[in-house]
Each structure stands twice: as C-alpha cells, then as structure tokens.
Structure 1
Amino acid sequence: MTEEEFDVFYATSYPRVVVQIHALCGNWAEAQDCTQEAFVRAWDRRAQLVRSDYPEAWVRTVAHRLAISRWRKARRAFRQPDRAVEHHQSPQPNPDRVLLERALSQLPEEQRRAIVLFHLCDMGVQDIATELDCPVGTVKARLARGRAALAGIIGDDAEQDDPNRLDPHATRPPAGA
C-alpha cells in the first residue's frame, strides 16, 4: 500500500471506524484517540494490509482492543487495593551495605567496575577483561588496587562508627549479633 493509497484508506475509513468505536466505548475523545492509534499501527503494517481483504476490519479490531485496554486501566484505578498484592515497605538498608556503597563510590571508576563485576556479578577475570576490553593483567591490577583501597576506606569508616566492629577480640559483640 503506497502512501497515497493509505491516505485514501484513512480518509474513507476513519469516520466509520471512529463512529463504531464511539458506539462501543461511549466516549467521543476516547474513540478518536483509539482510532488514531490504530491507524498509526496500520501505517507500520501497510504491506500486510494491502494483502488483506478487509484492512478496515483490522483497524477496527485494533481500535476496539485499545478502547477495552484503556477501559480496564480506568476500572483498575477505582478498585480498592488488593491487600495480597500490596507493596510492603522495604526494610531499612543494612548498615554494612550502606558502608560498602559509600566506599565503592570513593573508588575510581575502573576499579569500582572491576570490583562490582568480580564480587557482585560473580564474573571471572577473563570475562571481565572481555567485557571491559582490556588485558587480564589490567583487570587483576584494578581488583588488587580496588580491594586495597576498599580495605582502607571501610577500615577507617568502621573504626569511626564502632572501634570494636572489626576486632575479633573485642569484649562486646558487634551490634545485631
């Protein structure tokens, strides 16, 4: 279907389809929106529509389905929330995770990426090298430097928060134990 043929198809079919969809959904603006969207989708399928015996029926079906979908969304908006699907408030972040994220943010980008890929994504050194497009030795160096920097950062932060936190010989147990 050429552009000119589609224009003729649109001009002749649009008024009929919009009236039919209006009769189905009862809202003129909604019928116009759904019909317009159906014709936009038809434009992308011009090659299939030209082989179809009833391209207007295809557009009408798509517009009808769009109207039903919008109606369902509107109905869901007025329903009482289902307690079984309610979103529960997520627990407070773990202090160790906050500490780790803060420490990771202080690393250079290359080291942070290598650390995250290796320790959090469980990727091997070779896989990381392939993904980062760098030699295996470079990945190993970034991991070593990143770990050393993390140990320094986390050690300093942990001592400021709780001096006995990392001491295995501390007389009192760490918080939460």
Structure 2
Amino acid sequence: MGLADQEWFAALYQSCYRRLVLATYALTNDLGEAEEITQEAFALAYGRMARVAAADQPEAWIRTVAVNLARRRGRRRAMLDRLLRRDHPEVLAPAGSDERLDVHRAIRALRSEQRAVVVLHYLADLPVDEVASLLDIPIGTVKSRLSRARAALAAALGTPAEVDHA
C-alpha cells in the first residue's frame, strides 16, 4: 500500500465521514454509536482498500458495511434487552437552538422505519432509490414512509405538511 493509496483513502474519509455517520445515526438513534460504527466501517474498508478502490462507488461500499454493522448491533441489543427485560435509556438531544432541538426531538420520536428514511433522504441527502437499496425495501415503501414521516413531523412541530414528490 503506497502513499497514493493512503492519500486516496484519507480523501475518501474526509469527503464522506459525516454522511456515513448520519446514515448510521438513522438506524441507531445514538450519535456516539453512529460515530463508532462509521469508524469500524472505515477500518474494515482500510483493510480491504483494493476492493473499495475498485468499487464503482466506494462511499456506497462503506455505507453498506456501516448499515450492516448497525443492524447487527441493533439485533444484538434487542436480544440482550429481551433477555434482561429492560428498556433503552433516553438519549439526550444535542445542544443547539430551540427550533433545532424541536426538530431533533420530533425526528427521534418517529418510528424507526420512518426515522431511517428521513435521515438518509433529507440529512444524508441520498436519493430515494439509494435509500431503498440501502435499506433493502421497495422504492414505493421509501416514498410511503417519507410521506407518513413528513405528516408526523408536521403534526409534532405544529406546521402544515408540505407535499414532496421524492
């Protein structure tokens, strides 16, 4: 692995780290865990740099790894919670303006399926077809979940729902 490979990988990391954290946050609802999963996905990608570099979309390759890691952790946590019969502690909202906190709380309150599509589509800026591919659901399901999520967010925030043809 030469210097050029390391520079390419560093540029990849810089260009897509934030989007990948948002993608995993959509699934975990925990920023710290999302950052940890994203780091793990990059570590795996670094070990398979030749494969990642050969991929048509290196970011998509790493995002798929990160989503799979997040799902695996979620299944393990769910199993542990069932075994221990406990609930997850409430995650604290990040500091910011009242409006941002309200939006963050409203997004956190969405059902996990709706939260995932909202964060991936609107915050990670992925097109509907990529969200569908990433979550392994039909495009129509993504659109339906986005529509229901927008309605739920509008109700939670006391604003009229906008029509969006994603």
State the TM bucket, normalised to the shorter chain: 0.3 to 0.5
Q: TM-score, normalised by structure 2?
A: 0.46
Larger relative contact order (Cα-Cα within 8 Å, sequence gap ≥ 6)? 2
Give the TM-score of the pair, scaled to structure 1. 0.43
